Chain A
Amino acid sequence: MSFQPARIVITGIGLTAPNGNSLSEFRQNLLNGVAGVEPFDVRYMGKLIAGVCHYDPLRYQKRKELRVGTRAGSISIYCAHEAVKDSGVAFDALPKDRVGIYVGCTEHGNVETENEIYAISKFNYDTKYWSHYHNPRTVANNPAGEVSLSLGVTGPAYTIGAACAAGNLGLIHAAQMLRLGEVDFAICGGVSESIHTFGIFAGFKSQNALATHADPKKASRPFDKGRNGIVISEGGCLYTLERLDDALARGAKIYGEIAGYCVNSDASDYVLPNPGRQAECVRKALTNAKLAAADIHIVNTHATSTPQGDIQECEAIRSVFGTGCPDTHINNTKSYIGHCMGAAGALELAGNLPAFDDLVVHPTINVEELDPLCDVPGLVLNTPKQAAKVDAILNNSFGMLGINSTLIVKRFVA
């Protein structure tokens, strides 16, 4: 008899995106074409554009906690509390040593390190003015650790560093831990505080990969012929995941079931994507989910609005879904919110999950002239599309150093 892993379901969602601070607000803005990119001051660089979140940090934190902690920690705390509340679980009654927190991050520590270097620059770089909070703020587990403090969770709480694939990896890792029986309740996904470090802006600018546009809301435009780079954004999206039996036993609302996934590596370049490995990642995820390409009704792309990267992902998508998939729709969420880095995969999946209920595929906006090299069958552009059915959603998230992730969520059927 072959091993039958436990079925894992999504029971709660908490998020903050540049265009919404709850799933309902986020979804509505995705259907209404409302983008969330705005002018943003960046240290040393001046007025640029970015996706900025406008959640209320004081909803779940005291002012002192905000002062001591990090932006990534604050975003994580907001999302975690919102997810737990949304799940309806009697959290106080849960054994806290059986709760796991798995937060995907693109990077962590750059913001605080830059802040401290800037601060001591005012004191002639004398390091005796360096903050004693620097180490707890910059340890890689900081965002998850701040959630553990806020929720009183004594189970495993750590981050997963996976560049821009990290949001998916938070979910994937949580599913694995639930299946291993390491925890009974998982809070997982991804966050990003990236807009508060000038380094990421300067780095992408030096790569000639930073988006510009007279209208910030049109700057992130994957698949458009005029696209010229990434809009950097902050954000967060954390889910609650449970084994199906546990979720059913407490009568939980179920958003969807983790159907399958794959994480692989290009092993070919520091920054350039590899369409062959991306396609391999998608195919392995389909195999893992025991689904055919034609069974996927929404493919949410990773495309970041860079001239080359979008073409390469489309090449990968075309090789898997290009023929024989008449019911497969392809969309992109970064066109609304820019690139939320470690939060991207988790947020972009969340924005599509309501399609299980309303059967509406949110479009990729800002496509004024479709790049022929990005013309993939099934693209949904600029206006939402009513689908005949939405039973499976496939989410791609890829990152630097060639990490690829594909996560498939299917409609829950008992």
Chain B
Amino acid sequence: MTKDACKQIVLDIIADIAPDEDLSNLKPDVRLRDQMQLDSMDFLDIVMELRKQHGIEVPEADYIHLATLDSCADYLTPKFEALGK
């Protein structure tokens, strides 16, 4: 899996949990919370959807890696690859 493909997966999840937001101009290197309205429950949504849709577990200590799209890709891509995706 490429990092761009991984970012798209995260974006698709965010599109579902924040349906009122315009995601077209999200900067990959800026904290998601600084660019859109995302609260702690929303972040738990991202974690839950990664678990439900893709079988990926994100331990609480690693939540920090979901801060930006770039950091999501860096952190999640190896996990996807470990699952053979």
Contacts and interface: CB of A to CB of B under 8 A. Distances in A.
Contacts of A129: 48, 51-52
Contacts of A132: 41, 44-45, 48
A132 B45 CA distance: 8
Interface string A113-144: 00000000001000011011100000000000
A301 to B, nearest CB: 43
B42 to A, nearest CB: 8
Interface in A47-90: 62-64, 67-68
A79 to B, nearest CB: 22
A64 B15 CA distance: 10
Nearest to A123: B52
B19 A64 contact: yes
B56 interface: no
* Residue in A129, A132, A133 whose Cβ sees the most chain B Cβ within 10 Å: A132
Given A62-B20, A63-B19, A63-B20, A133 B41 contact: yes
A64 B41 contact: no
B23 interface: no
Contact of B51 (A63, A67, A68, A128): A128
Contacts of B18: 64
B contact face: mostly helix, strand, loop, or mixed: helix
Nearest to B47: A132
Interface string B17-53: 1111000000000000000000001001100100110
Contacts of A64: 17-20
A64 B37 CA distance: 10
A128 B45 CA distance: 13
A213 B38 CA distance: 48
A306 B41 CA distance: 44
Contacts of A133: 41
A contact face: mostly helix, strand, loop, or mixed: helix
Nearest to A68: B41
B43 to A, nearest CB: 10
Contacts of B52: 123, 129
Interface in B52-68: 52
Contacts of A128: 51
A128 B52 CA distance: 10
A68 B17 CA distance: 9
Nearest to A66: B19
A59 to B, nearest CB: 14
A138 to B, nearest CB: 15
Contacts of A62: 19-20
A45 B18 CA distance: 33
B59 to A, nearest CB: 12
Contacts of B44: 132
Interface in A232-248: none
B48 to A, nearest CB: 7
Interface of A: 62-64, 67-68, 123, 128-129, 131-133
22 contacts: A62-B19, A62-B20, A63-B19, A63-B20, A64-B17, A64-B18, A64-B19, A64-B20, A67-B17, A67-B19, A68-B41, A123-B52, A128-B51, A129-B48, A129-B51, A129-B52, A131-B48, A132-B41, A132-B44, A132-B45, A132-B48, A133-B41
Interface of B: 17-20, 41, 44-45, 48, 51-52
